[in-house]
Every structure is written in structure tokens, then in C-alpha cells.
Amino acid sequence: MKISIERGALLRAVAQAQSVVERRNTIPILANVLIEAEGDAVRFRATDLDIEVVDRAPATVERAGGTTVSAVTFHEIVRKLPDGALVTLADDAATGRLSVSAGRSHFTLATLPKEDFPVMASSEYTANFAAPAPVLRRLFDKSRFAISTEETRYYLNGVYMHVAEGEEGPALRCVATDGHRLARIDAPLPAGAEEMPGVIVPRKTVGELRKLLDDDDTEIAVSVSETKVRFATPDITLTSKVIDGTFPDYARVIPQNNTRRLEVDATDFARAVDRVATVSSERSRAVKMTMEDDRLILSVNAPDAGAAEDELPVAYQDERLEIGFNAKYLQEIAGQVDRENAVFLFNTSGDPTLMREGDDTSAIYVVMPMRV
């Protein structure tokens, strides 16, 4: 194999591939990226056996072929080469080395045979549809903060993507929860997604997928089966196993009868929570909200650190209410609001609280209170 490729295109392709590679590996080949050159392009493939990413980049191919090389080392070398450099990759199968040359820089890297590289088995997908990158970005960005990190409840370690009946007809819905807070985000159902099985997309896959969604003009081809999900752009294909488990019936925890309504500027609210939380104890980080007559008082009383209080003008006309929350949860939920105002709907101080953006019901959040 011998190819020439522009450094910028090479760096983009290798960066996406190497981020999938696990740093600690018991199987040496999994630390490598598979480089395959043919026609007028080169493909970079990396996997951790649960996720596979294939990145395609244009290149001048003098000699077709393939090899595998340490993903992290290769990425570091390419990253440190000068901008605009023309990089030449040449594989010498006899010595088991890959030479990397750019200008006066020259590197020789150890390789492993490409035949040993595990390629994820292709599978039949029950649903194939296309969705604009901004739609998927909103679905996953607004829900991913609520993914559980508790390994024992593995079925909560991802975002549940499924077809549901929304306020305005069938919707593509993403839900995540860790038992303390929940995010439920809807988007209009794309054509072809009607038969999609509900799948739990793992946390790591959500993080890798996010890198595909930065370009607003990109259409993402989505394919879903009971065991796998695939997201593809013209240059990158991300395939992942889904979490094998049953997502809980989240509709049961979304309150329907919360009538006490508080409307507040989301940015001011998040900043005020951040200010008063400065003195809260690290362990509980509890913040008390006291509401009455268009006033909201946020307060923290930490015996070992001190006390803090902040007052905000709000729209609240119901009877006085005192309720406590984890400060981090409040900040994360307020940080999801794109519009100016966040609307909180309360019942009692012991019941879950609902939050949404203005009157928009396509994105709702639930947070459990705590005793203060």
C-alpha cells in the first residue's frame, strides 16, 4: 500500500476513528486503526467490539492495500505535522512497518496484519430513514445529561430512541433518566421510521454520534434493528450495538396534574442557582426554592460552610411553596432551555416537578425533589 493524502483530511478521519479506541486493551489489535486504500479514497476503521466507526477520505492511491497501526500514536503524529502538508503512507509487508512521511519528517510505525482486525458483522436493519443533523443533535443533546452512570442499572446507561405518539402526531422520541431526573424530547417522525424498534443507544455511542452532527446541512442516514443502530454521513459510518435490556415505563413518572406554575428567565435562574450552591456541602448540594407572590427565593444552609440566599422576580400566583432540589440537576435542566423562559410545574414539595420551555411540550424534563 502506498498513498498520498492532505494532512487536514487525514487528521479529521483519524481523529474520529481513534476516539472509539479504548485506551486499555487486552486485545492488541483493538488498539489499532485499520487503513484500507483503493480507488481514489482511503478508509480508516476502528472498533472496541461494541462500536465501529469507518471514516472515508479522498487520497491519491499509488498502490492499493491495507494494514493496521496504533490509532493513538498515528493520530498524535498526524496532529503534530504542519498544516497543509502532503502526507505519504507506505506499508512494507515484509518488515511489518508503515512509513509516514511529510516534508522532512519521517516516521516508521509497527503494524499488525489487517486479517486479524475484527470487522463488525453486517446485519439486516428493520427501519431505514434520513434525518437532518440539527434534528438529531437536538434530540440527543437535550437528553444525554440525564443518562445514568450507574453500571448496575445498565438499561439506563443510554438514550432510549423510539417511535411515540406526541402532542402533534407520531414522533421520534429520545428519553434518558437516572432515576433522579428525566428528559423526554420529541421531533417529527421522519418518513421510513414508522416500523423502527425502540432501542437504547449507549452513552459512548451518543458521545461519538455527536461528532457527526456539527454540520447543519448534513442529512444523517439512520438504520435501526433490534440489536444494532447505524448513523451515516457521506464520509463517516458509525455502527453500534444497542443495550440489551428493557427501558422502564417512563410515562408513569411524568406528572400530569402539577398545577402550580412558575415562569422564570432560564439564564438568570441557572446563574442564581450556581451562586447559592457555592456554599452548599459537596455531598448533598441541596438548594431550597421558596415561592410566593411573584418572588422566588433560592437558599442554601450548610452548617459547615455557611448560608446563601438569592431572590429572583418570577411569574408565580399560587400559594406559598417550599421545595428542595440538587443544585446540579437544576443547573443542567435550566441549561437545556433555548428560549428565554423556563416554566416549572409543581404539585407538592414531595412530588416530582415538571419543567419545559415556555409552552413547548416537545421537550419536557422531570426532576425529583430532595428534603432540605
Q: Output the DSSP codes for 147-204.
A: ----GGGGGGSEEEEEEEEETTEEEEEEEEE-SSEEEEEEEEPPTT-TTPPPEEEEHH
Give the model's pLDDT for residue 283: 64
Of residues 97, 80, 90, the one with CA closest to residue 7: 80
Give the model's pLDDT for residue 305: 83
Give the model's pLDDT for residue 59: 97
User: Which CATH class for the 2-116 domain?
Assistant: alpha beta
Indicate the fold that domain 256-367 takes in CATH: DNA Polymerase III; Chain A, domain 2 (3.10.150)
Global pTM reads 0.93
- Taking CA atoms, 29 is separated from 37, 72, 115, 157, in Å, by 19, 12, 10, 27
Q: Cβ distance 128 to 221 under 8 Å? A: yes
Domain 127-252 belongs in CATH node 3.10.150.10: yes
Q: Distance between CA 61 and CA 319 in Å, rounded?
A: 73
- What stretch(es) of the chain map to CATH 3.10.150.10? 2-116, 127-252, 256-367
Q: What angle do CA 314, 319, 321 make, to 5 degrees?
A: 75
**360-367/353-357 β-pairing:** antiparallel
Q: What is the mean pLDDT of each successive set of 10 residues along the chain, which is 372 residues long? A: 96 93 90 96 96 96 96 96 96 93 96 94 91 96 96 96 94 97 97 96 96 90 96 95 96 94 94 91 83 95 89 96 94 87 95 93 95 79
